[in-house]
Structure 1
Amino acid sequence: MSASGGRSAQLKHTGLRSGWTTGACATAATTAAYTALLTGEFPDPVTITLPKGHTPAFALAAEEHGGSYAMAGIVKDAGDDPDVTHGALVRSTVRLLPPGSGVVFRAGAGVGTVTRPGLPLEVGEPAINPVPRQMIRDHVARAAARHGGTGDVEVTVSVDHGEEIARSTWNPRLGILGGLSILGTTGIVVPYSCSAWIDSIRRGVDVARAAGRTHLAGCTGSTSEKTAVSLYGLPEDALLDMGDFAGAVLKYVRRHPVERLTICGGFAKLSKLAAGHMDLHSARSQVDKGLLAELARSAGADEALAAEVAAANTGLGALHLCSAAGVPLGDRVAEVARDQALAVLRGAPVMVDVVCIDRAGTVVGRSTPR
């Protein structure tokens, strides 16, 4: 896969465009800036090699040569992925250092700094993740070998408006302050993989464990977070904004256990978990009203009520029918969702309970921990 001028490539069979991570953009910007320091000319477009061998080319959106430093900027194209950093200008400013200094990383404006343990970076380090750091080191070394440099440089990565953009990410909760993280393991953003969100879930578990938290809550949104805090008094760093990615939480906690995991979310979404779906997004899984009818029967509904549940317009509609009849469908969905979660955990030493809420945050179903 290659991209002319940084444009994303078309994914086979899907019609969707892949994009490039902030780490790939920072690597390309660094390569262009360091090359300009060594040669006096900015390569434009600048081509880099990603970890799996792809060689995208990026057009420069900004460049500046100040004699002792050079800066290059690249606009991030996330393709068709719903990425908050799409369109952000990622800059790298490179300065020469004395021989033997190696590559020193700095956080510029809009790039965060790590303030809590549990991440793959030490406290006080700029939030430039390990794979992007290695990509940058590799490309600095290649440019040095090609143009007669020593490879000893200070690399300051910045993102225009990054601090503002970061407010809509997990960074503040993870203790990454002042801006965004420079992310990426392959350099490529696959549309609708929501890899950044899933990575944030994993880092959230890591930070919570490092802080000694033994009870975490995977929540589908802000209303369910408030419910979890109200029920259990959990601190902010014990709350995982899992969105629709229940499977991502469960699979990571399976490998990195905590004593207790609560899953809290809307009744309809968690009825999908009860049906065995790990991705709860409306475009990728649907409420199974046939299953709801079966669960209603097991909770005491007669055949007439079960038929009404099966014909209900929505999951909440089915819940209201059962509530009016005194049938605890919410509790039954929570119990089955808990059992599905335990199946994914595969015997990991984690106690699980599930809390279902309505749109107002009222608890409409709850399982016992198991």
Structure 2
Amino acid sequence: MSGERRTPEGLRYGWTTGACATAATTAAYTALLTGEFPDPVTITLPKGQTPAFALAVEHLGDGVATAGVVKDAGDDPDVTHGALVRATVRPGPPGSGVSFRAGPGVGTVTKAGLPLPVGEPAINPVPRTLMRDHVAEVAARHGGSGDVVVEVSVDGGEELARKTWNPRLGILGGLSILGTTGVVVPYSCSAWIDSIRRGVDVARAAGYTHVAGCTGSTSEKTVAALHGLPEDALLDMGDFAGAVLKYLRRHPVPRLTIAGGFGKLSKLADGHLDLHSGRSQVDLAALAATAVTAGGGDELAARITAGNTALEALRLAEAAGVPLGDAVAAGAKATAVEVLRGAEVAVDVVVIDRAGVIVGRAH
């Protein structure tokens, strides 16, 4: 597809599933009205970009047309990169406008709290608007009514969805058709952050008063056992502590447990809100200083500073009888409380080692 753009670091931008579905819908409806598929098909995104998409699938039948586009996520590690997104368009009842159906590989909403009602196809509001706008443009250009049923499908989408948050959010049967700008920014992990927000929405709609932001599956299992939390109260925070805290600041839940490995939470204690190893580093000198405030001596501080890893620092502190895990938990809690800026959210922190053993807590 054309319209390639790159970040200042030279990474390629990509296109969201919503943009791909819009391109496929535009091509299919054009073929339904004219008998010809535009290939490539050009669309206009919310910020004015006009990418052109090559068609991977074209099928024109009696009163129905299908077009397919292969998603290019650019240089982002997106689970849907390379997926075939199809749109099948057929006439709808007069005056019905555009209605949407979930085809194979696209999920259906089964829980409250998402931006779509229960029972609706998991095609988010912005992609729906994009598709409606393009259907209207095609109708105006070629004399159509604009009354159509659009069925969006993704080849292998049900299997891909198992690698996403969708099952936990109550989106069953496949993927969500996402995108607010139509553009995938490499390594922005916007889909992950959006899933965190939807996870908070679902928990609030379910009436939960306690959620947990967890850095990984081990911390998730530990905190679920500790507090007896249901699966949909567990937020797969990953490295995005800031995303959880900033969204809860605007949409509070009475209690938040932050659970994670010692290394990642030592970075949160140090004020980092993105815990990815490529975007923040464990500061061994800061850990040494924390160990001193927790009762350690100069020798321990020197050994931690000269060490290699956060886990080594923890083991050195444990051997010296210094509660470094608790001190890190307290620092992580202080950072979280600062980001929450007075929101009605009580925070506690659980720090674990790689085996899932709790090595520090702050209430």
Q: TM-score range by the shorter chain?
A: over 0.9
Shift of residue 9 of structure 1? 2.2
How high is the TM-score relative to the length of structure 1?
Answer: 0.97
SS of corresponding position for 1:229? helix
SS of corresponding position for 1:354? strand
Structure 2 runs not aligned, ≥5 long: none
SS of corresponding position for 1:326? coil
Which residue identity does 2:325 align to in structure 1? G
Q: Deviations over 1:179-205 (max 9, x none)?
A: 000000000000000000000000000
Aligned pairs for 1:319-358 (under 5 A) are: 319-358=314-353
**Does structure 2 conserve the Cα–Cα contact (< 8 Å) formed by 1:8 and 1:20?**
no
Instruction: Give 1:117's match in structure 2, choosing from 82, 95, 112.
Output: 112
Instruction: Give 1:52's match in structure 2, choosing from 47, 54, 57.
Output: 47
The CA RMSD over aligned residues, in Å, is 0.7
- Percent identity, please: 76
Shift of residue 120 of structure 1? 0.3
SS of corresponding position for 1:30? helix
**Does structure 2 conserve the Cα–Cα contact (< 8 Å) formed by 1:266 and 1:356?**
yes
Aligned partner of 1:10 in structure 2 is 6
SS of corresponding position for 1:263? strand
Aligned partner of 2:36 in structure 1 is 41
User: How far apart, in 1, do the equivalents of 2:126 and 2:264 lie?
Assistant: 34
Pair 1:101-2:96 in alignment: yes
Instruction: Give 1:204's match in structure 2, choosing from 199, 206, 219.
Output: 199
Aligned partner of 1:87 in structure 2 is 82
Structure 1 runs not aligned, ≥5 long: none
Aligned partner of 1:239 in structure 2 is 234
User: How far apart, in 2, do the equivalents of 1:83 and 1:363 lie?
Assistant: 32
Q: Deviations over 1:331-350 (max 9, x none)?
A: 00000110000000000010
User: How far apart, in 2, do the equivalents of 1:309 and 1:365 lie?
Assistant: 18
Shift of residue 101 of structure 1? 1.2
Aligned pairs for 1:87-166 (under 5 A) are: 87-166=82-161
SS of corresponding position for 2:85? strand
Q: Deviations over 1:236-268 (max 9, x none)?
A: 010000100000000000000011000000000
Give the paired residue count. Answer: 363
SS of corresponding position for 1:173? helix
Aligned partner of 2:354 in structure 1 is 359
How high is the TM-score relative to the length of structure 2?
Answer: 0.99
Shift of residue 8 of structure 1? 3.9
Shift of residue 10 of structure 1? 2.0
User: How far apart, in 1, do the equivalents of 2:9 and 2:55 lie?
Assistant: 29
SS of corresponding position for 1:316? helix
Aligned partner of 2:277 in structure 1 is 282
User: How far apart, in 1, do the equivalents of 2:240 and 2:93 lie?
Assistant: 47
Aligned partner of 1:225 in structure 2 is 220
Aligned partner of 1:271 in structure 2 is 266
**Does structure 2 conserve the Cα–Cα contact (< 8 Å) formed by 1:8 and 1:78?**
no
SS of corresponding position for 1:312? coil
